Chains A and B, each alone.
Chain A
Amino acid sequence: MTLPVDREIDARGSHCPGPLMELIRGSKSLADGQTIAVLSADAGSKKDIPIWVEKAGYKLLAVEEQENGVARFVVQKVARKS
């Protein structure tokens, strides 16, 4: 199953830390509560993306495994408590 999102980024051609940077850049323009997905074929993303999502206080809704080692990371932007 593929979760529908507000913004989809295909970073399959990009290498570490490319997919993470694409996700960070993409999430800057999202409103709180909106979702974003990034497709990555880089093995390093499996480590880097979840750690960043936690640090930023966002929610990792799913990591969907696809063909050829590609993973789709689905992330929700969460309002920062101040």
Chain B
Amino acid sequence: MHTQVAIIGGGVGGTVTANRLIKSLHGERRQTVDITIYETKRMHTYQPGWLYVPFSQFRPMTITRPEVRLLHEGIILKSGTEGTVTSLDTNTKTLVTADGISHRYDYLIFATGARNVPEEVAGYAEGSDHFYSEEAARALRAKLDAFEGGVIVTGVSSIPHRCPPAPLEFTFLLDDMLRKQGLREKTEIHYVYPINRVFPIESVAELAAPILEERGIQVHTFFNVDEIHPEKKLVTSLEGEELSYDLLVLTPPHQGSALAKQSGISDADGWIPTDHHTLRVKGYEDANIFAIGDSTDLPVSKSGAAAHFEGIVVAETIADELRGRAPAHTYEGRVVCFLETGRNQASILWFDYKHPPKPPKPSLFWHLDKTALNRFYWEIIPPAIA
């Protein structure tokens, strides 16, 4: 009987894991292992592209490609109802898809990502814009096109969320665009953040705070969004602050996968408790269940970079086990991501569990690096070449 490796989710993490695993298995092993990705959507999305859509710097069409084209030969892709996993039984090691079919697995990898849950904040759905989905990013672009000045409130409604630097990056790019359009003088920008600094990691907050100040962006820390009143165009915080706005662009609240929650393997918000180093799901250490990327509760940024590095560790661990060797790979919390600071400059955040980032002064060099990643993502990341 073939060994069944089931990967739920064909985003960054799932795709990298499948491609790396099939490359690591040679000869006979490859013939006796089936690697299946279960993914609801047919198209793979480069989510970082959404940040640029509101500023017309990226065309939404260039952000997606068919998942099937990103997978090495031999990987089975199930999508649509055939690929949507609706339930899971860890005792019998089976999963059920939306077409009603049961599938057996020997290894299971959760790469189910994170999802927006706007309903967690009263008034969010009617009152706030964002760029955490293609549809929302397009709608925001239309609003910015029609914007003629006023008060824009940006920031974060709650932590954790995908791509921690994105709200700061959006704010800097917004400031740039308004200056170019001659609207900056007519616009107040306010940046709100739930904790007592502008970013969770101190070294990054120390880099970003003076730039916000220099650009005339007003900062409100310890601003935990309590309610949004769309009819009054008002946002209130748990700490008793109120801000009026003409345009509100808050990162929506996030949760992990509904499937993980309903299967009882996650915490109340859907994040999967995951061993920091082996990436095995806690409580299922002997059941060959792993979790990677945004789906986990790991104390690292919810980033494509983390999903990529974690996917490689899981693929190599499974390959080692299938070859009868002791697994030699562990995840040490590695993340590499950029922080766009506007004016064609960026910094880079390079860190792991033990070493916080020491972000360099923003420069054109790192901005060009980010621009290159935006272009060559498809050739570099999904194929799992590094």
Contact = CB atoms under 8 A, between A and B. Distances in A.
Interface of A: 13-18, 20-21, 24-25, 27-28, 48, 51-52, 55-57, 80
B238 interface: yes
B268 to A, nearest CB: 10
A41 B105 CA distance: 37
B238 A56 contact: yes
Nearest 7 pairs of A and B residues by beta carbon = A15-B299, A17-B195, A55-B222, A56-B239, A21-B159, A55-B239, A24-B224
A22 to B, nearest CB: 10
A38 to B, nearest CB: 15
Contact of A80 (B159, B195, B224, B240): B240
A27 B196 CA distance: 17
Interface string B196-214: 1000100000000000000
A13 B158 CA distance: 19
A25 B240 contact: no
A16 B200 contact: yes
Contacts of B222: 51-52, 55-56
Contact of A56 (B195, B200, B240, B273): B240
A17 B222 CA distance: 12
B34 interface: no
Contacts of B224: 24
Contacts of B240: 56-57, 80
Contacts of B200: 16-17
B238 A24 contact: yes
A55 B273 CA distance: 31
Interface of B: 158-160, 194-196, 200, 222, 224, 226, 238-240, 273, 297, 299
Contact residues of A: prevailing secondary structure: helix
B254 to A, nearest CB: 12
Main secondary structure on B side of the interface with A: loop
A15 B354 CA distance: 13
A51 B240 CA distance: 15
Nearest to A25: B158
29 contacts: A13-B297, A14-B297, A14-B299, A16-B200, A17-B194, A17-B200, A18-B299, A20-B195, A21-B158, A21-B160, A21-B195, A24-B194, A25-B158, A27-B238, A28-B226, A28-B238, A48-B195, A51-B196, A51-B222, A52-B195, A52-B196, A52-B222, A55-B196, A55-B222, A56-B222, A56-B238, A56-B239, A57-B239, A80-B240
A62 B117 CA distance: 34
A46 to B, nearest CB: 13
A55 to B, nearest CB: 5
A18 B273 CA distance: 14
A26 to B, nearest CB: 11
Contacts of A55: 196, 222, 239
B155 to A, nearest CB: 15
Nearest to A16: B200
A80 B238 CA distance: 10
A55 B238 CA distance: 10
B249 to A, nearest CB: 21
Contacts of B226: 28
A3 B129 CA distance: 42
Contacts of A21: 158-160, 194-195
Interface centre among A14, A27, A56, A80 (most CB of B within 10 A): A56
Contacts of B159: 17, 21
Contacts of A80: 240
Nearest to A24: B224
Contacts of A24: 194, 224, 238
Contacts of B195: 17, 20-21, 48, 52
